[in-house]
Amino acid sequence: MPLALCLAVTVSPGRTGEQLHVCKESEYHYEYTACDSSGSRWRVAVPHTPGLCTGLPDPVRGTECSFSCKAGEFLEMQTQMCRPCAEGTYSLGTGVRFDEWDEVPHGFANVATNMEVDDSFGDVAENCTASTWVPLGDYVASNTDECMATLMYAVSLKQSGTVTFEYIYPDSSIVFEFFVQNDQCQPTVEESRWMRTTEKGWEFHSVELSRGNNVLYWRTTAFSVWSKVPKPVLVRNIGITGVAFTSECFPCKPGTFAPAAGSAACQPCPADTFSGKGATACQPCDPETYAEPGSGSCKPRPPCTDKDFFYTHTACDADGETQLMYKWAEPKICSEELPQAAQLPPSGIKTRCPPCNPGFAKGNGSTCQPCPYGSYSNGSACLSCPEGTEPALGLEYKWWNVLPPNMETTVLSGINFEYKGIAGWEVAGDYIYTAAGASDSDFMILTLVVPGFSPPSPVLEDTESREVARITFVFETLCSVGCELYFMVGVNSRTNTPVETWTGSTGKQSYTYLVEKNATMSFTWAFQRTPYHEAGRRFTSDVAKLYSINVTNVQGGVASFCRRCAPQPTGSCAPCSPGSAVDPSSGTCQPCPSGTYLRSHPSDGTPTCHPCGPGTCSNQLRSLCYNNCSLALALPGRMLRFEFPSLGMGAGVGTGPSFTPKGLPYSHHFRLSLCGHQGRKMASCADNVTAGRGGPAHVVTSYVCQAIVVPPDITGARAAVSSQPISLGDYLLGVTTSSVLDNIVSPPELFPPGHPDLPDIIFFFRSNDMTQPCSGGRATTIRLRCDPLHLGTGTLAVPSKCPEGTCDGCTFHFLWVTAEGCPRCSSFHHRPIVGACIGGVQKTTYVWREPRLCHGGDALPPQVIQACRSMDFWLKVGISTGTCVAVLLAALAAYFWKKTQKLEYKYSKLVMDAVARESDATSPDSCAIMEGEDAEDELLFATEMSLFGKFKALTAKFPHHRMAPGLNFPTPQRMPDGFDSVPLKTSSSSTKQEL
């Protein structure tokens, strides 16, 4: 009451003392005071300009604070009763709506800050001042850089209410969150903080609001890790209820109308009509003008050009002919009557119909009908499969006379992102192409729906062979500007994930996508000529063409060929049990031998047994090859055995921090699992940005995966933000020491050199994700290096030259240093050290060879102690043996010397006797010397000779004992009396010469 009185008597100081007139109704308005503790309030009159008049109505008790009017009504303050809104206006009753975004509406705060709070990024933060939400007429668009853009609105609710809005969130590389805080700055709806991406146009979002003060936040942050700029988040039609009452109705914005009183919303004007603000009906445009739906004015029609029409083909008639038809692009906005306007070319030219697609044949009429099960066709006639074969079911489209029944086409507006009821793709015989849209920014949509798949070999849930089917299509884009062709895959009509994007003109090429889940799948091609909206059609000649689409293993599909199968007694075929394949020679199912796995043949899709790669073995189901955390490596002269069970549980490695152009830090995080678990993939990377409310995050599971991580201290979230997970290894090719396997190269120079005596063990992986730059799929090499000091899982590293783990974007390289990478210790890895013999005891100790390059395995042998003899003993033995040998040699020398003396004596005596007898006149015919006689005789020589001289004389004469020079010594003859008789014959000349 005092507040009301103060408001009633408030005057301007400048008007004091003047006579004021009584206020008219047009000079004041009514307001409610704040609610008191009992929930009551007063209605007071407040002048538009204080101090101009006096005599305001007295305050009266107002309605209850919780009082409100229904939608389409407003509270008339004079009577304090709800009245319906007039025609051309609308009301939400207890709320407000913001659907005009020519500028940021009053009450909103639009700010942009840098996520990094470090002062070193102060210059970068200044660059974020312009990275705010941008109003674009019907909606507001977020930023597309790494700055944090926040759109805020504060509202005080008198009762519980709701906030609703529509949004488009197509790109998960943008972090989009919506949350509500109360007046204590505490979040109230935490589970709705992270928004989930949208797949099909605008999606509706609603959050309950509590009574009292509420602050609404729409916040986005994009991190431009890849070169492609992400698509912005769009928000429109923000509505808030619970403000208790509205005292007026809002006029309809231009382009909309409200034909009846009490409207809760305005309706958009149809095409070729327009309306102004607060309209009750839409006005038609003049014939020479046009207007798009929801327009506030009409535009003049431009003259028609060759970009305003397209061509298509009619269905085949009874004569097997089709007609070439030209049609105006819808909606038709051009005029044919203007000068220099192009005219529609004549239609009706007939040509022969193309043949039916494989698996189809013409029936009684002119339409192509699918062949029944058990038969196949190349497009001409249905033929039964031979015995022992079955049809390879699939879908193959390469002739485009009519759009197949399981395909549909539409157009998504690039302006308001609403779907239009027109065709975006048209058939053209050899291909299907994008027709002209209403705008060059429209998305031309083509969707193929497959109900399910029936692979020839059962794919069990506990296997890791995830390929259920594959889709291959041949396409081409012809563009003069930056057009884009998107290929998207949906599962059970709930997700529509972009798989690959092609920008600009591309040559005729094929693309293959592997289906890894047996579910209802949708494959979508979306073509946009330009993302910029301009009036008219300038780039209609920019088109995308699909020449053929081939999907394998389609449930309920048709067959273009038959493949071998295992016949049953009933005559039908049945798939082989898991782990078995059809033997071509016998036609029966035979289990695949150990070391092989089942793989579909490239030509007909028949599963066959293929050998595993080096260092791998097959699992029990023969669905894949894996390494069982062991390896036998043959090196020259030795066999090394490795066991690394600790590496089977997986490990992670993150790259160093990288920064976007505006300073947002991020890193690449990798998860790796090498072996074991019967080939199960144990590495997983998650996308917690796109997780649904209350649902799990999107997770990629493989042998090697990668995700982009933003630290939690940057985003303000409870945990690090992980986004964009991809698989880098879906199957193991082999384990070897060679640097090349299956055209995948692991350059040794990327990492520091290892030990020359022990090569690195290299694991080679390949993924199923085929991308535009990586046509063969991504690949990964992991070098396992021995270091006994790194126990457990050791350390993981990426190449220093390629800090993101890859040098070309397709092949990733890692170095895993761990003791598990060392071979098992064996006798080769240690050597003995023999000690000295001390006190009759000798010790042999075994030590590891340095550097030690083994782990686990055999332990060092224990110390060996054995008896031995010392050096003193052997010295004594040696001296004794030497003394004995010396004595023996001395005895032998004395003996032989004595013997020599005897021989010399005998010889000398013989010589002297011969000389004596020669001097006598009568010489005896013979002489004899009895044995033993020489021992008693002593001969004295006139001239004494030394011992050396005697030996010399002996050696000179003794060899001529049979016939000495000058003497003829016949051979002695033993006589009967025991004497040796020697006849002597002299020669005077020779004797004198000798003497």
pLDDT tens per residue, range 552-595? 889 889 998 888 777 666 666 777 777 888 887 777 788 889 98
Average pLDDT over residues 389-396: 88
Reported as half-sphere exposure (CB side, CA atoms, 13 A), residue 608 has a value of: 14
Query: How many angstroms separate the CA atoms of 418 and 202, rounded?
Result: 8
Q: Torsion angle of alpha carbons 375, 376, 382, 387, nearest 10°?
A: -40
Q: If you count them, how many residues does the chain have?
A: 995
Q: In whole angstroms, what separates CA 953 from the centre of its chain?
A: 106
Local confidence band at 547 (pLDDT 50, 70, 90 cut-offs) = very high
Stronger pLDDT, 546 or 598, i.e. the higher one = 546
Residues 115, 147 contacting (CB under 8 angstroms): yes
Q: How many whole angstroms separate alpha carbon 351 and alpha carbon 97?
A: 57
Of 482-486, 536-540, 655-659, 975-979, which one has max mean pLDDT? 482-486
pLDDT at 760: 92
pLDDT at 234: 92
Say which residue, 510 or 874, is predicted with more confidence: 510
Helix (H) / strand (E) element for 713: namely helix 712-715
Q: Is the pLDDT of residue 447 over 80?
A: yes
Taking only the tens place, the pLDDT of each residue in 207-255 is 888 888 889 999 988 765 554 677 889 999 998 888 777 778 889 989 9
**Cα–Cα distance for residue pair 992/995, rounded to 1 Å:** 5
CB 667 within 8 A of CB 654: yes
Position 226 scores a pLDDT of 52
Helix axes 871-919, 947-957, angle to 10 degrees: 70
pLDDT of residue 931: 47
Q: Give the chain's count of helices (H) and strands (E).
A: 6, 75
Residue 178 host element (H or E): strand 174-181
- Judge if the upstream peptide bond of residue 983 is cis by omega within 30 degrees of 0: no
How many whole angstroms from its chain centre is CA 435? 36
Tens digit of pLDDT for each residue in 192-208? 577 877 777 788 898 88
Task: Please choose, from the candidates 924, 927, 895, 911, the residue with its C-alpha nearest in 3D space to the C-alpha of residue 961.
Answer: 911
Quick one: pLDDT band at residue 956, thresholds 50, 70, 90? low
User: Which tokens go with 388?
Assistant: 């022992």
- Tell me the pTM: 0.69
- Band of the pLDDT at 900, cuts 50, 70, 90? confident
List phi, psi (to 5°) of 485.
-115, 125
Could you tell me which of 178, 551, 225, 561 has the C-alpha nearest to residue 385?
561
Phi, psi of 98 (to 5 degrees): -125, 100
**Is residue 428's pLDDT more than 50?**
yes
The pLDDT of residue 988 is above 60: no
With a CB cutoff of 8 Å and minimum separation 6, the contacts of 739 are: 745, 746, 747, 748, 762
Beta bridge partners of 698: 687
pLDDT given for residue 995 in this prediction:
28
What is the per-residue pLDDT for 944? 47
pLDDT on residue 446? 93
Across the chain, mean pLDDT equals 80
511 Cβ contact list (under 8 Å, min separation 6): 472, 473, 475, 487, 500, 770
Q: What is the pLDDT of residue 221?
A: 82
Q: What is the pLDDT of residue 548?
A: 94
Q: Average of pLDDT values for 885-905?
A: 88
Q: Which two tokens stand for residue 665?
A: 């830090």
- Alpha carbon of residue 1 to chain centroid: 71
221 vs 115: which has the higher pLDDT: 221
Q: Assess whether pLDDT exceeds 80 at residue 875.
A: no
pLDDT attached to residue 546: 95
Q: What is the DSSP letter of 289?
A: E
CA distance 259 to 73: 15
User: Of the ranges 414-418, 798-802, 948-952, which is most confident?
Assistant: 798-802
Tokens of 463: 């296997």
Residue pair 625/616 in contact (Cβ under 8 Å)? The answer is yes
pLDDT confidence of residue 715: 56
* Closest residue by Cα to residue 658 from 667, 649, 650, 669: 667
What's the rounded Cα separation, in Å, for the pair 686 and 982?
126
8 A C-beta contact, residue 201 and residue 152: no
Two tokens, residue 849: 């060879």
Residue 389 predicted with pLDDT over 60: yes
Q: Could you tell me which of 663, 664, 781, 795 has the C-alpha nearest to residue 733?
A: 781
| Mean pLDDT calculated for residue range 879-897 | 89
pLDDT surpasses 60 at 102: yes
What whole-number percentage of the chain has pLDDT above 90? 19
Q: How do residues 627-653 score in pLDDT, each as one tens digit?
A: 988 899 888 878 889 988 888 887 888
What confidence tens digit (pLDDT) does each residue in 469-488 have? Answer: 889 999 999 998 889 999 98
**Segment 597-620 mean pLDDT:** 80
259-307 pLDDT tens trace: 999 998 899 999 899 999 999 999 999 989 998 888 899 999 888 888 8
- Please state, in angstroms and rounded to a whole number, the distance separating the CA atoms of residues 289 and 837: 117
Whether pLDDT at 923 is above 50:
no
Measuring CA to CA, which residue among 536, 173, 532 is closest to residue 334?
536
- Is it the case that residue 124 has pLDDT exceeding 80? no
Question: What pLDDT, in 10s, does the model give residues 10-36?
Answer: 344 444 445 778 888 888 888 878 777
Six-digit token string for 592: 């695949």
DSSP 770-831: --SS-TT--EEEEEEEE-TTS-TT-EEE--SS-TTSBSSSSEEEEEEEEGGGSBPB-GGGEE
Mean pLDDT of 719-740: 86
Reading the block at residue 444, the tokens are 């031309």
**pLDDT, position 189:** 54
Strands (E), 542-600: 543-552, 558-564, 566-567, 573-574, 580-582, 589-591, 596-600
Alpha-carbon gap, residue 326 to 306, rounded angstroms? 11
Indicate the pLDDT class of residue 993, thresholds 50, 70 and 90: very low
Express as a percent the part of the chain with pLDDT over 70: 82
pLDDT value of position 781 = 95
Query: What per-residue confidence (pLDDT) applies to 859?
Result: 85
End-to-end CA distance of the chain: 182
User: How many angstroms from the chain centroid is the CA of residue 631?
Assistant: 26
Residue 449 is predicted with a pLDDT of 92
DSSP strand pairing (811-818 vs 779-786): parallel
pLDDT score, position 966: 43
In order of 709, 759, 946, 949, 950, the CA distances from 943 in angstroms are 122, 90, 10, 12, 12
Question: What is residue 14's predicted lDDT score, i.e. its pLDDT?
Answer: 43
The amino acid at residue 720 is A
Residue that has been written with the tokens 């239009």 in this structure: 420
3-state secondary structure of 920: coil
Question: What's the confidence (pLDDT) of residue 926?
Answer: 47
Task: Report pLDDT for 696.
Answer: 55
How does residue 434 score in pLDDT terms, banded at 50, 70 and 90?
very high
